[in-house]
Structure 1
Amino acid sequence: MKKDLKVRLGQVGDYEIRLLKVFEAVVECGGFAAAESELSIGRSTISIHIANLEERLDLKLCRRGRGGFSLTEEGVEVYELMKGLFSALEGFRSGVNALHVRLTGELRVIASDAVCIDPQLRLPETIARFSGIAPDVNVLLDVKALNDIERMVLNDEADIGFIPLHRQLSGLDYQALYVDQCHLYCSRSHPLFNAEPSRDLLDKVLASKVVHAGIHTNPEVGAQLADMNKAAISYFYEARLAMILSGAYIGFMPDSYVERQVADGELKALVPDTRHYALEVTAITRAHGRANRARDLFMELLSEH
């Protein structure tokens, strides 16, 4: 009947590890005499170490005598367990040492439209802190369409993506960042810019030509556009803003993105009490894949903001 090692052994410390190292050398050299040169200690000292180990484990590990050296059944099992222990210790040592290795390589960040300059994200500050901590990592920052960002992160073509939350795909992790408030805007040259609030103002708004992103983002956006005159498509905010500033179209924009134009009197929100929606911006990363210390560091710095 096998003995319960957990009950009899207790904690494994440096002393037990040293004894196990001696036992390892004896087993792999094939006996006490052969292990002398490997361990640079005498046979009698090796014998004492093995005896101490057997006493600590309360197990007979090996037989030695005229028949030569051999392991007992318990000795074979302890040897296998020992190899697993040493492997785990080496993995721990390597992992800790890796933490001190200087970060290198590339960090690929892809953002949707105007997210890069949204003051709520504070991306420039995060990049500055990251570059100070990991100066040898090249940060690649680009802007892509929403669906392209999801595809690139899933395919490991990008490490981090910033997108408005519109769905959750398996294979991606989502971290909520902030919420953008969006209103319906018209320019100073649009006929409704100076329109007074009235019963028919909403009817005039619904009849006006609207420029929109041309993709399904979330149900709230779809509900706002459902009864409007969708006359033009312009995916990126910069191009959509140009369409609105032309005076030929009205359109939804994040308040933070058009703050300057509103302050300068170039834009005005139409029927702001009813025509608005919230857009949650999230960071997406690949749910399963190889470890990426640069990505993890960047996400940690981002969360602190």
Structure 2
Amino acid sequence: MTRASLPVGQIGDYEIKQLKIFKTVADCGGFSAAETELNISRSTISIHISNLESRLNLTLCRRGRAGFSLTEEGSVVYDATIKLLGELEDFRNTINDLDAQPAGHLTVLFSDTISLDSRAKIPKVFQRFAKLAPEVYLTSEVARMTEIERQVMNEEADIGFIPFHRSLEGLEYQHIYSDTCYLYCSPDHPLYSLSEEELSDEIIDGVPAAYAGMKTQEIIHGHLANMNLKATAYNYESRLALLLSGKFIGFLPAQYAKPYVDRGELRAIAQDRRFYTLEIMAITKKTSTVNKVRSLFIKTLRDSYRDQ
């Protein structure tokens, strides 16, 4: 360290102005290059930096024939300045959002058939939200569970709807509804005509099966562990096509399979032991930053389920 540092004390508007000038000088690589960016003279810039160094009791940069460079302390102050200015910007946006009409963009991601499941009431939620925030641009997409988690964590999406399969540190979870999944086959499959007594685990595990093709909850893994996994189909629609071919068996949510069961196009087998429950969750990122658009959508979501 070039000097013994002293407690800084209160940081006011003038110090923040100096820090902004210091950051610009560092970004530009010197006083001369920062003149145009800051629209002030080099001598004025030098005065501001000197005053800041005196205020902090630190040498922040070296300037001379060898060129411009930050000292060790200068690099630390530069990183802290970026953090401070970012937090100030977040604060300003938060306060501005409190009284402003919701505007901007909202991205909602769904896994599989959740968006049109009657228990999720998503069309009703969209209807209410669009009335409350007509200026918000909505994006609604279907994606894989892991991709939904990634985008919500990275704030590329605002909210996601997925079957619960793990708990991630940076996410918040809200239960939406539960799905019971059974093992199904079609009339063209050899197991369709067998009685429940004939459907031993050995027979079931001996025929080709289709599954989601990803790491799942322990209970689901237990069902799949001994099965003859011969096809991957993440989406229910593509898995259903494999089952209807008569060549594969596989798990589907009872609600999704019901129309096909009612028409005799599918049959649930070994229902007493070959089933599991999926908890459908809405996920958002844990954050202290106020996002008025996202908060309004979540409130609309909760109000819709409270009515139900």
With normalisation by structure 1, the TM-score equals 0.66
Equivalence map 1:16-55=2 (5 Å): none
Q: Distance in 2 between matches of 1:200 and 1:274?
A: 11
Tell me what 1:193 maps to: 192
SS, match of residue 257 in structure 1:
helix
Counterparts of 1:228-247 in structure 2, within 5 Å, are: 228-247=227-246
Shift of 1:99: 4.1
1:152 paired to 2:160: no
Could you say what secondary structure the match of 1:280 adopts?
strand
Tell me if the contact between 1:195 and 1:201 (Cα under 8 Å) persists in the aligned partners: no
After TM superposition, list the pairs within 5 Å mapping 1:169-248 onto structure 2.
Answer: 169-248=168-247
User: Which consecutive unaligned segments of at least 5 residues does structure 1 have?
Assistant: 1-90
Structure 2: which amino acid aligns with 1:183? Y
The separation in 1 between residues aligned to 2:131 and 2:263, in whole angstroms, is: 37
Equivalent residue runs for 1:1-305 within 5 Å: 95=95, 98-288=97-287, 290-304=289-303, 305=305
Could you list the per-position Cα deviations for residues 141-197 of structure 1 after superposition, in whole angstroms to 9, with x for gaps in the alignment? 001111111111111100001111111111111112211110001112111112122
- Quote how far apart the aligned CAs of 1:98 are: 4.5
Displacement of 1:261 in angstroms is 0.9
Q: In 1, Cα distance between the equivalents of 2:198 and 2:103?
A: 62
| Structure 2 residue identity aligned to 1:234 | A
Comparing 290-299 and 208-217, the one that deviates more: 290-299
Whether contact under 8 Å (1:160, 1:283) holds in the other structure is: yes
Counterparts in 2 of 1:157 and 1:173: CA distance versus 1, 3 Å: same
CA RMSD of aligned residues (A): 1.9
- Per-residue deviation, residues 78-105 of structure 1 (Å, max 9, x unmatched): xxxxxxxxxxxxx9xx95x854422111
Structure 2 counterpart of 1:74: none
Cα distance between partner residues in 1 of 2:199 and 2:289 = 58
Question: AA paired with 2:190?
Answer: P
**TM value normalised by structure 2:** 0.66
Instruction: Summarize deviations over 1:236-258 as a string: whole Å, max 9, x none.
Output: 11111111111100100011112
Alpha-carbon contact 1:211-1:232 (below 8 Å) kept: yes
Q: Which runs of 5+ in 2 are unaligned?
A: 1-90
What SS is found at the alignment partner of 1:258? helix
Give me the whole-angstrom Cα distance separating, in 2, the residues matched to 1:301 and 1:189: 45
Q: Which has the greater radius of gyration?
A: 1
